[in-house]
């Protein structure tokens, strides 16, 4: 909403500044302001579709800056463009004419595409977790922007051609897309996510009942002693699945267990025992692969439209979207009354239609070749041909960057010793000096197989039967294993 208000303010100020320029500049600006906004909005959607989920496996600053900029600009540009269309449509209604009516019809046809752009692509709905907490703001935006698009449509109705009628299915597609985004944000909201994961509590052994029975037996004269017996084995299939489809099912089940940790829920004794038994029998390579796929599922739930798309209703919405968009494209090509529209406006309209169709097709391809779809096919025993296709493995080979960030403390300390400059003073004034330092002195190193082996062996060793350390204690060690290992003076001399 802040970007909406800021966009409206900037637009008003911009209109005032235009009065300073000559009439020729005003004319060019008036003709191209909406066209430029439409093309920019489409370009931002293409960037988000192609790069939206790449930060999952590309740990580079430049790609994050591009995605962040496109993510923030996309809503602002689409909102401002809708405002321009609304104003122009009202002006055309107040000054009727053949050219005005044709322009009004075409602009009303563009409005649903902006609503579709506000819905965003499937690859990114939130840039950070905090964006999911603002789902109510997006719900309000859905209501307001849908009202604006409907108002624009009514101003152009009924028109002198079939173009306003073609706006109806595109308006429905735009509402579906925007609704999907709001639904996905609500599904990834921490409160809703936590409520959806709550399970019946597992209190563990009933020690109160045990002590009551112990006291009663003693009172009856029996000799009673409490001995710690062996724990009941956890019934679980802890073998590593050899087939890819079985592995996806196993990993998805593990993800359903461990995702509760993301919202500060605890695991049951059964969950802890079964997961420990499973991971202890894996190699480091297999264990890291399992965790990578789990984190891929987690990323999709928190930052994409996965909670909506990979459902029966989501598949229905996808079918409706691509069918309506294709039908409108074919109908617009066959429209016989296009000569009254400006050629550049027709080109922009074709770009919007073709772009919407191509982006929908790309979204379907990404959806089909995702691990979510593989899991569904695996459960229904329909994966043999799918998983054997080489393109599937190519699509799913990137799960994370396989790198860790390193911060050069020595370089940053030497930077502090340098004399202050004008550039540094400007950075400090804008409070971006720390941001620059954070990214200028950060490098990435690949995680080698040897390092993975070392980490996994240490984790397995710490969870063996003889270890009494809790997971929280283990996570808090932070290098104390090394000091403990080399605390011996003889070892230090070596």
Q: Give per-residue pLDDT as tens, 389-442.
A: 555 555 555 677 888 888 777 777 776 556 566 676 776 677 676 777 777 777
Asked if the model's pLDDT at residue 333 lies above 50, the reply is yes
Angle 174-79-93 from CA coordinates, rounded to 5°: 85
**Distance (Å, whole) CA 200 – CA 127:** 33
% of residues, the chain, pLDDT over 90: 26
At 160 the pLDDT is 59
**Distance (Å, whole) CA 92 – CA 77:** 22
Asked if the model's pLDDT at residue 295 lies above 80, the reply is yes
Sorted by sequence, the CB contacts under 8 Å of residue 262 that are 6+ apart come out as 193, 298, 302
Dihedrals φ, ψ of 441, to 5°?
-110, 20
Asked if the model's pLDDT at residue 381 lies above 90, the reply is no
Asked if the model's pLDDT at residue 237 lies above 90, the reply is no
Tell me the whole-structure pTM to 2 decimals: 0.80
A 10 A CB-CB count for 479 gives 7
Query: Radius of gyration over alpha carbons of the chain, in Å?
Result: 30
- What pLDDT digit, counting tens, does each position of 440-454 carry? 777 888 888 888 888
Q: Is the peptide bond before 158 cis (omega within 30 degrees of 0)?
A: yes
Instruction: Between 64 and 395, name the one with better pLDDT.
Output: 64
- How close are the terminal C-alpha atoms of the chain, in Å? 63
Predicted confidence band of residue 147 (pLDDT cuts 50, 70, 90): very high
3-state secondary structure of 443: strand
E strands, 172-325, where? Answer: none
Strand partners for 405: 444
Tell me 444's DSSP state: E
CB 127 within 8 A of CB 68: yes
Asked if the model's pLDDT at residue 458 lies above 50, the reply is yes
Sign of CA dihedral 256, 258, 263, 268: positive
b (16+ CB within 10 A) / e for 250-260: bbbebbebbbb
b (16+ CB within 10 A) / e for 291-322: bebbebbbbbbbbbbbbbbbeeebeebbeebb
Dihedral of CA atoms 355, 358, 363, 368 in degrees, nearest 10, equals 180
**Distance (Å, whole) CA 281 – CA 239:** 7
Provide the CB-side half-sphere exposure for 14 (13 A, CA).
12
Predicted confidence band of residue 386 (pLDDT cuts 50, 70, 90): low
Asked which of 57-66, 339-348, 388-397 is least confident by mean pLDDT, the reply is: 388-397
**Distance (Å, whole) CA 367 – CA 255:** 19
Instruction: Between 17 and 67, name the one with better pLDDT.
Output: 67
Instruction: Between 438 and 46, name the one with better pLDDT.
Output: 46
3-state secondary structure of 201: coil
Dihedrals φ, ψ of 305, to 5°?
-90, 15
Predicted confidence band of residue 317 (pLDDT cuts 50, 70, 90): very high
Predicted confidence band of residue 238 (pLDDT cuts 50, 70, 90): low
At 72 the pLDDT is 93
What average pLDDT does the chain have?
A: 79
CB 285 within 8 A of CB 161: no
**Distance (Å, whole) CA 32 – CA 186:** 37
At 164 the pLDDT is 80
Average pLDDT over residues 170-180: 94
Asked if the model's pLDDT at residue 272 lies above 90, the reply is no
At 191 the pLDDT is 87
Strand partners for 446: 403
Residue 6 tokens read as: 């800021």
At 494 the pLDDT is 47
CB 9 within 8 A of CB 318: no
Average pLDDT over residues 180-184: 94
């Amino acid at each position: 909403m802040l970007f909406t208000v800021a966009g409206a303010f900037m637009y008003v100020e911009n209109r005032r500044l235009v009065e300073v320029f000559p009439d020729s500049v005003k004319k060019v600006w008036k003709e191209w302001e909406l066209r430029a906004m439409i093309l920019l909005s489409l370009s931002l959607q293409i960037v988000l579709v192609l790069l939206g989920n790449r930060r999952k496996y590309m740990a580079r600053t430049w790609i994050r800056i591009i995605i962040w900029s496109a993510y923030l600009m996309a809503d602002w540009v689409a909102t401002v463009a809708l405002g321009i269309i609304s104003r122009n449509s009202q002006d055309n209604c107040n000054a009727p004419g053949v050219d005005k009516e044709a322009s009004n019809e075409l602009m009303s046809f563009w409005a649903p595409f902006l609503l579709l752009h506000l819905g965003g692509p499937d690859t990114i709905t939130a840039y950070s977790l905090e964006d999911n907490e603002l789902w109510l703001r997006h719900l309000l935006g859905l209501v307001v922007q849908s009202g604006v698009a409907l108002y624009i449509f009514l101003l152009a109705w009924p028109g002198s051609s079939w173009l306003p009628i073609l706006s109806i299915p595109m308006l429905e597609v735009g509402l579906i897309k925007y609704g999907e985004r709001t639904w996905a944000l609500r599904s990834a909201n921490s409160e809703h996510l936590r409520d959806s994961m709550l399970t019946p509590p597992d209190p563990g052994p009933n020690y109160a009942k045990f002590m009551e029975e112990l006291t009663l037996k003693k009172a009856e004269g029996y000799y009673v002693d409490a001995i710690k017996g062996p724990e009941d084995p956890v019934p679980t299939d802890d073998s590593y699945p050899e087939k890819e489809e079985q592995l996806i099912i196993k990993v998805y089940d593990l993800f359903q267990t461990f995702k509760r940790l993301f919202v500060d829920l605890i695991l049951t004794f059964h969950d802890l025992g079964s997961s420990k038994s499973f991971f202890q029998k894996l190699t480091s390579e297999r264990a890291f692969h399992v965790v990578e796929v789990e984190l891929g599922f987690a990323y999709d739930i928190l930052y994409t439209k996965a909670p909506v798309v990979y459902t029966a209703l989501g598949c229905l919405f996808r079918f409706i979207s691509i069918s309506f968009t294709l039908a409108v494209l074919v109908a617009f090509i066959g429209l016989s009354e296009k000569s009254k529209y400006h050629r550049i406006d027709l080109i922009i309209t074709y770009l919007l239609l073709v772009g919407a169709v191509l982006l929908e097709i790309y979204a379907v391809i990404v959806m089909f070749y995702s691990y979510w779809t593989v899991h569904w096919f695996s459960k229904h025993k329909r994966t043999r041909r799918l998983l054997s296709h080489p393109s599937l493995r190519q699509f799913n080979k990137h799960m994370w960057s396989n790198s860790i960030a390193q911060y050069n403390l020595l370089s940053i300390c030497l930077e502090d010793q340098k004399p202050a400059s004008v550039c540094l003073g400007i950075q400090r004034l804008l409070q971006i000096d720390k941001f620059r330092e954070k990214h200028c002195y950060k490098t990435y190193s690949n995680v080698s197989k040897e390092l993975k082996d070392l980490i996994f062996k240490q984790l397995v060793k710490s969870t063996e039967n003889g270890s009494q350390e809790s997971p929280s204690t283990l996570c808090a060690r932070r290098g104390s294993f090394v000091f403990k290992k080399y605390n011996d003076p003889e070892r230090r001399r070596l």
